[in-house]
Chain A
């Protein structure tokens, strides 16, 4: 039982990193990105290829995964982040499909539809990770979740973060104030992509193999749902959304009802949940956090008077 639960916890941790990073892009900056699974895929494959063919060690692979994903995020973001709303959503959707297609077709590098297997489990602080060290994974990945949360928090509570929120609220005004909105958007996008890449790396070494089927459009949708469910622009909400959605997607298995509930009901319920939440509580369960400007002003005044 504990082993199954620890698998679920690890999944929650990996998805939490994805949700937190997408929250930075979609929640705080207001960019409708439907290709987060693509950065996740890049991270996973960089680690898989690097550790199998390149003999990299885990930490190096992890770093490279994040960096490669963010580089791709940068180059994709530069042209497409000029687009607004729905157009951006579709462009990112298209990009996500392209990445998946390329992975399937670039046989020499990615082994195509077969995927790459035999990714070695890492050695952390002298402990060889593997099937028997499930709890080790839980702890190690928790560190990464905390790290991601902290970085996002720091970014959001900075001048840069405030600019992002301003861009989300009204990009035209921001432009009129002389801020190059696209620049900020690209940075946020690349940063989000970086953490998605990290998550991909963590997936690769946990699963010890990677295959293209994992990284489809529905995954991007699911991550977006985790963010929206908890409340766009609310990191705690993203975490909550992650827990809820992972539990939901494994619900039949958890309750032992896999043979009883017709297979499609789980997904139908998910679809229904989406519609209902959008109609009745679009701001998500925890709502959107607004940085209180009154407090900021009070703080500045206090500092002045000291």
Chain B
């Protein structure tokens, strides 16, 4: 009898644990904290931590603090799986920011969807990610859109007739390169050389020598900063004099530390900074970030900050509507209906599929001031390049 009572009380205890009153709102972050991409994970997490502090300083959600649970996916799908299962199963998160790599995003999106956990990736740009379900969002300028705008821009506005492309075989650069090539050639341009490298490559002299022989007007390098710094230096060493074009990866300020003067004058595409004149959201955020961490954020960190903020906004809304309980469907609905949210990464509106519509900005890098200047904003309307004033 004693044993039975003991067992029963234990069962009740365990059950009882499940119905405690919530003391926090759990939210997650999944990204590469170790491994080769650790730096990207760190930059994004830092941005999310700023957002977290701001949210909690304003009272959190309904007076409850928002708690951030961070898990490392090492840039690998199998680790991303474990990270998600832990965050969902143990911490019961309502939503999370991340993952950063498309391969990880593709692996856990179906799981997040089935668990009704909102996923907002700040950098996974593979076409199929958001198609995995309506709980899956991404706050990143789609590579396709970037390429659609930039391909036309280079052909029609810069009037460059021949381009060489040097891209890295990873899930970011390859997509951009291929889309750019298609759009640029459709717009009348000619790709005279196309070379590749592998992630981690340091020596591009062979590819650059071949590109030099093809004599292009410009070189498009839509890669991560480590490889681009190498390419810029080696191009100079080989005497390759061309206009350098790039994509949003170039917005990582580490490029100024790595490539110094060689980064000067590089033109690249990135999410448009619409608030720059009237409401300096982005500038302010960068200032805060710089003061706290002694380094600048990259484009993905900006996206991550906004992703976290809109997620909290959606949670707040659902909490209020539910009088203290959060209906996961309502969180998703809020995001789907989000229009023109003014964020540091631009104005955010989510398409039904979960992609953020963004306008594309054209930027020039200034190595002396170690900053970027937006020179124009574009969008695509009816298959044509339209400038946004």
Contact = CB atoms under 8 A, between A and B. Distances in A.
Q: So, do A and B actually touch in the complex, CB under 8 Å?
A: yes
Interface of A: 1-5, 7-8, 11, 101, 104-105, 112-115, 117-118, 130-132, 203, 207-211, 213-214, 250, 252-254, 256, 258-259, 263-264, 266-267
Interface string B59-85: 000000000011110011110011101
Contact of B114 (A5, A7, A130, A252): A130
Given A207-B78, A258-B71, A263 B34 contact: yes
Contacts of A213: 75-77, 101, 103
A214 B88 contact: no
A264 B34 contact: yes
Contacts of B115: 131
Given A115-B106, A132-B114, A207-B78, A259 B126 contact: no
Given A118-B128, A131-B111, A207 B77 contact: yes
Contacts of B175: 114
B171 A113 contact: yes
A72 B76 CA distance: 25
A7 B82 contact: yes
Contacts of A254: 86
Nearest to B109: A117
A211 B76 CA distance: 8
A211 B77 contact: yes
Most buried by A among B89, B103, B128, B170: B103
B121 interface: no
Nearest to A130: B114
Contacts of A113: 103, 169-171, 174, 199
A2 to B, nearest CB: 7
A102 B107 CA distance: 22
28 contacts: A1-B90, A3-B85, A3-B88, A4-B85, A4-B90, A5-B89, A7-B82, A11-B82, A105-B169, A113-B174, A113-B199, A115-B103, A115-B106, A131-B115, A132-B114, A207-B78, A208-B107, A208-B110, A211-B76, A211-B77, A213-B75, A213-B76, A213-B101, A252-B72, A253-B71, A253-B83, A256-B90, A263-B33
Contact of A267 (B34, B76, B78, B106): B34
* Interface residues of B, dominant DSSP: helix
- SS class, residues of chain A in contact with chain B: helix
A7 B87 CA distance: 12
A229 to B, nearest CB: 20
Nearest to B68: A259
B142 interface: no
Contact of A11 (B75, B78, B128, B174): B78
Nearest to A213: B76
A131 B115 CA distance: 8
Interface in B95-116: 101-103, 106-107, 110-111, 114-115
